[in-house]
Amino acid sequence: MVAAGLCALAAVAVPLSPHHPLASAAAVVGPVLLLLVVALRRRLLWTAAGAALMAAGDVVFRVLWWVHGAPVVPSPADLGFLLGYLALLRAVHLAARGGRTGAGLDALIVVVGPAAVVAAAVHAPLSALATTGDPLRTAQALVAPLFDLALLVLVVRASVAGALTRLQAAALQLAVVLLLLGNAGYLVLVEIAPDVLRPWLGAPFGLAFSLAVLAVVLHPARPPSAGPGAGSSRLVLALLPASVCLPAGALVAQGLAGADVDWQVLGTGALLAAALSTARLLGALRTAAAQARELERLVLVDDLTGLPNRRACAADLEQALAAEDGGAALALLDLDRFKAVNDSLGHAGGDALLRAAALAWASALPPTAGLYRWGGEEFVVLLRGTDAPRAEGVLQDVRLATPAPQTVSAGLVARRSGEGARELLARADALLYRAKDTGRDRVCTDAPPSGTREAAGAHAPTAS
């Protein structure tokens, strides 16, 4: 960390002294070499590779400058810079891998506004460079800022995804912004800057790589698990609208200042920011709708069996009783000696029995019937518009469908005139206890006997 501070100090101090090519080169190359060393020690191989390639490219660039007496653009050094950028992009991409959905789009929206302003700043000199008829030089001047923007998108994505600590994120974001300002500023100022300002054109690069060293030093032994915290969420909420408004604000500022309004670049940036923000909003709405559906499902569905739960049963029962005819039959089911199953097979065995019984009973019921898990080993069957004899026949089918050797007892009632849900359930519960007390494995009902069912084992005792 001390070495990174000394590199940053050198990057700022060198331009203050009489300009010397070796001192200027050391102020830029030194932080890159330090990044290589600390990345190797932290086993961040892609970062180390990027630093090595960047350092090699800068050494070649400086040597060619010294030999020819002027910067050589384009040159073989550009290959080192290109490969170095690719390695650094890979390193940041791996750091952000597995982040939350939408982090990439958030990062793109955050960057697109400042990118439009930077593009507007370099638009005029880049157009002038393109008119010189040197396409390679134009491409070389354009490539570095584009890579800087791509790197900034990935760094912001890693930040909002929670893959970086706050200090790491701040250091890396500032480092990439300095790289972008350095490359864009060099493009804008290299031809028009006075001699006293030219030594400062390399300062952003030295500062940027010094901050990158600091970020690597701060790299924790165990990186934070990807996932946005409250801090990153607040940061995104603050940066998204600021980025969207930035191109339009720059247009207004140019107009108020009486300068030439670069409406092509800034207008395109504003439209792109608006389109990306709209896409992000639609995605957020879809996510919210999906979460609402899942929450509703969790509220009304029993996780173990997948059946509607007690809350859903109460709602459906009230709806059935509020119908015009109000006809309904209801049965409370209870698996016999379920505690013994838990004691012998464990809770996993008991859960498996509950799932198997629910599946078997649902298959035995007609499509219009409702099957609910009431709680524990108790279930409810709701038969709308069904009279007592038909309901008893359905419940006998359910009883016989119970997975062997398990048995089930049930209390079956048909709604009486003016009877509410609470009274209906109370009668069914009392009949369920009667079924348990009279031998289990049976359906007890207080409806008049139909005379169509035998009584014994498969027969249901009928209360008079």
Would you please indicate which residues are annotated as catalytic (active-site) residues?
377
Q: Which of 311, 287, 296, 309 is nearest to 378 (CA)?
A: 309
Q: Which of 205, 208, 210 is nearest to 24 (CA)?
A: 205
Q: Enumerate long-range contacts of 183-186, CB under 8 Å, 24 or more apart.
A: 183/144, 183/145, 183/148, 184/118, 184/121, 184/122, 184/145
CB burial string 54-69: b at 16+ within 10 A, e below: bbbbbbbbbebbeeee
Burial of 418 per CB tally in 10 Å (0-12, 13-18, 19+) = exposed
Distance CA 145, CA 138 (A): 12
DSSP string, 53-93: HHHHHHHHHHHHHHHHSS--SS-THHHHHHHHHHHHHHHHH
Tell me, what DSSP letter sits at residue 442?
S
Q: Residue 409's beta-bridge partner residues?
A: 334
Count of CB atoms situated within 10 Å of the CB of 217: 19
Amino acid at residue number 425: L
DSSP string, 175-236: HHHHHHHHHHHHHHHTTT--TTTGGGGGHHHHHHHHHHHHHHHT--SSPPPS---HHHHHHH
Distance CA 15, CA 19 (A): 6
Distance CA 263, CA 120 (A): 9
Please report, to the nearest 10 degrees, the dihedral formed by the alpha carbons of residues 384, 386, 388, 393 taken in order.
Answer: -100
Distance CA 111, CA 172 (A): 14
Distance CA 60, CA 43 (A): 26
For tokens 């912004």, what's the residue? 177
Residues composing the chain: 464
Which residues in 206-338 belong to E strands, given as ranges?
328-335
Q: Which of 319, 344, 459, 322 is nearest to 405 (CA)?
A: 344
Distances (CA, A) of 413 to 234, 316, 328, 448: 56, 16, 9, 11
Two structure tokens written together for 222: 């165990």
